[in-house]
Structure 1
């Protein structure tokens, strides 16, 4: 008997504020696993009751008051939960757990990579230095044993690596999230670990692909000045099981939206 697993990753920009649209997502998409970033919520105040009522009994939560925060919610059991403190600064930016899929333990990494501030210079901008150091630690860790097993890495990784992952490659080359120092390190993290960028497997490189649109635009959809900041990577052993990805663009237009759209990934055995 075949197994199918539907996973959604979404920077929700405050889970308590946007719980109504999370519930809309659950109703419309019915994912098995939901990976949220920027929950902005200490663990004690996380809306567990609402998720349990929606069928998500299993939770791996790593939050803090007002900032950052990641949470993985699942209809399937979660085991071997891990919360890694990157750069030893106490930020809640990662949680991992094993999810049963086709008789195996699928490792799910949920990340919220630092945005990096406004100035792409580590010498004058500590936030940018933190972002680069964070990714360097990802590279050192997420290879070898971590990628020799079925694994998926998702989240708001805050880098738009390719030319058509941004609305204007030339205009954004000096803008944080698309600078060469970031995109080259980002690709180094991915390739060193043998991770596959599955969103680009299903959307050709020459096509525009966005997951984030700024709140600043009066009409975000018409202006369409987006960036692909949210990603789905899989390890080589999981590669044959990825059946599709989709950006739920319409969610960016829901009531009181996040500035990110959810990304859906479907796995089949």
Structure 2
């Protein structure tokens, strides 16, 4: 996997499609490397006329890890944030947004459609806010503005999502990951056991086993200030894509995101949870591809 130096770290990435085509930057979520983006989605968007860039966030995949930053106290950070204090994670989401903007710089991409999923959606929002010259549009997928008081995640879904495997063995990692995806999945879109195992196994085989790194991602999420007021001032095309059965970031968060961004388009997908299934990729390709092509048409 190629890597570039950007924002002071090494970032592993993959570029698909023609370099001259409009770019879509894909930013994944908590402890998930670039392999979490299905090839079918990337290939489908390339077929719609886009260059796709997917990459590993810091502390995941083959980008730079930060073991020297240790294991954060998530509980203490949550307490401080809920009390309105200034929580101090090992690194903030703003730094991860700067990584994404730096990657675009390193690849010579002046502007891109910034698409992020879950934590990646939070980072994408911050790319649009902190680096507006880099964002042709924003696509926020199963994500949130972080506004306080919205419906919380289902406890059982979060327990499964944050479960640590019994060991670093592939079998234990696979079993834990499969259980987590089952817990956060919606009732719609068929998926076989073989498809699920292949999907999570791909990322397990690609990325090192490092639970403290996942905790540092979570620390960045819980310590991030709410973004809804800043998003009120955003002036760019935005698409919000959310599942009707998301147990991790419930639909109210997607609705709030769309309401916070002037003119944003909201698409609630019936039966979709907080996971990615091959059967839902045609829906995503249509939603994202049609939206981005409309934005490109207005710029022509």
**Structure of greater relative contact order (alpha carbons < 8 Å, 6+ residues apart):** 2
Normalising to structure 1: TM-score of the pair?
A: 0.36
TM-score, normalised to structure 2's length? Answer: 0.34
Higher strand proportion (structure 1 or 2): 1
